[in-house]
Amino acid sequence: MILIGVPVQYSPAILEKYRARVEDYLYVVSSVKNTEIAEAIKYHFGWLDQEGNAVSSMQGKGIRSSLCMFACESVGGVLDNALQGAAAVELVHNFSLIHDDIQDEDEERRHRPTVWSIWGVSKALQVGNYIRILSDLTVKNSVSQILDNNLTLRCTETLSEAYLETVEGQYLDLEYEGKLDITTKEYLGMINRKTGALISCALKLGALLGSADQDTVKEMSAFGRILGLVFQIRDDYLGIWGLQENTGKNVANDVRRRKNSLPIIHALQNGTPAAVTEISKTYRQDCIDEHDIERILSILNDVGTTGYMDKLANSYASSAVSLLETIKIDKVYRIELQELIAFLLKRES
């Protein structure tokens, strides 16, 4: 068993063994009739450059699609039955990324210009919408081939509810910008929607498509919720302390964007009155310079924010491991999920 908190220097098996299969299918789904839209989609996924030339794939980790495939396999299902469901989850995730980049005005993702920064906001919105609709069609096609109307309904409802909750989470994320009185409870509730919903959906879809029993489906879904919290807490850590060569963004990028991420919320709730005043004043400035960033990083250090982040992430990871013991899957699959948890705790990008 891999111990929680021990750094993992390799990509876990779950993120590798299904990647090529899902990516090949996503490429086919993305080859739509409208060539301009197809090129923008394939650019976003990392298969084309800005001129439409083929390049080596620069996709993200594929966590959600991999978890969908894994869940199906681990409950004894047929992987072919989960392929389109996995692709559908990945499409929803990427629809949200394109829209998030617009709302956050991020000009880079995965070390490349974002879709909106190349094609403009209006076209990028439509590309995102197009991907979301492709997701609906993909999951419908997936379950239709199994010829089970009840399963079709459950899967389409599961996906729709998940991306509705994801949008709610993104709305709250935007709502919290500029507010310096957000509580940790409110913030964790937001990321439970924005990040946890789709990760939970991926595991639930995979279990459904693998014909798992009702208890296993529920447990997989609950496990995904906790995994989403572990993932996002680490993401918030990397948003401030992640190295540019790993994340593709400047150190303390979330501070430059005045983002009320978990480290800032922790400092506001636990810092001295002078520290809280300084953060509040800095976040209300029109421009945040390097001196401001150094001061905020110093405050975070004084308050012990990195230790708090590690402790909280490890607490959720331990809960995930405990829940994992109740899920009816073979030991080899349980070990793979333990490896994934350890990886998410210490990932650098």
Domain boundaries, the chain: 13-346
Assess whether pLDDT exceeds 80 at residue 72. yes
Tell me the pLDDT of the chain averaged across its residues.
Answer: 92
Predicted local distance difference test score (pLDDT) of residue 289: 94
The confidence score (pLDDT) of residue 58 equals 64
Q: How far is CA 1 from its chain centroid?
A: 25
DSSP state of 16: T
- Tell me: the pLDDT tens digits for 87-106? 999 999 999 999 999 998 98
Six-digit token pair at 199? 């990760």
Q: What are phi and psi of 248, to 5 degrees?
A: 80, 5
Residue closest to 317 by CA, chosen among 233, 216, 237, 198: 233
Predicted pLDDT at 8 = 46
Residue 279: pLDDT above 70? yes
Which one-letter amino acid corresponds to residue 274?
A
What pLDDT is attached to residue 148? 78
Q: Which residues contact 29 (CB under 8 A, 6 or more apart)?
A: 87, 91, 134, 138
Three-state secondary-structure class, residue 196: helix
Mean pLDDT (whole number) for 129-148: 81
Indicate whether 244 pLDDT > 70: yes
When pLDDT is cut at 50, 70 and 90, the band that residue 144 belongs to is low
Per-residue pLDDT, 348: 93
pLDDT at 2 over 80: no
247 pLDDT tier (thresholds 50, 70, 90): confident
**Percent residues over pLDDT 70 in the chain:** 95
| Token pair recorded at residue 207 | 């279990």
Q: 322: exposed, middle or buried (C-beta count within 10 Å: 0-12, 13-18, 19+)?
A: exposed
Q: For residue range 109-127, what is the model confidence (pLDDT) as tens digits?
A: 888 999 999 999 999 999 9
pLDDT in tens, 160-218: 999 999 999 999 999 998 888 999 999 999 999 999 999 999 999 999 999 999 999 99
Q: What is the per-residue pLDDT for 143?
A: 62
Query: Does residue 7 have a pLDDT over 70?
Result: no
CA pair distance 247, 111, nearest whole angstrom: 8
Helix axes 262-270, 305-324, angle to 10 degrees: 120
Which residues, other chains included, contact 172 with Cβ-Cβ below 8 Å and sequence gap of 6+?
Answer: 189, 190, 193, 194
| Structure-token pair, residue 112 | 């490349």
Confidence of residue 11 (pLDDT cuts 50, 70, 90): confident
Task: State how far the alpha carbon of 29 is from the alpha carbons of 17, 53, 145, 190, 205, in Å.
Answer: 20, 18, 16, 31, 19
Specify the pLDDT at position 65.
97
pTM of full prediction above 0.85: yes
Residue 156 CB partners (closer than 8 Å, separation 6+): 136, 139, 140, 143
Q: In this model, does residue 330 exceed pLDDT 90? A: yes
- Distance from chain centroid for Cα 71: 17
Q: What pLDDT, on a 0 to 100 scale, did the predictor assign at position 288?
A: 94
* N residues, the chain: 349
Looking at residue 148, the DSSP 8-state letter turns out to be -
Quick one: pLDDT at residue 4?
A: 42
CATH code for the structural domain at 13-346: 1.10.600.10
Q: Which helix (H) or strand (E) holds 112?
A: strand 112-113
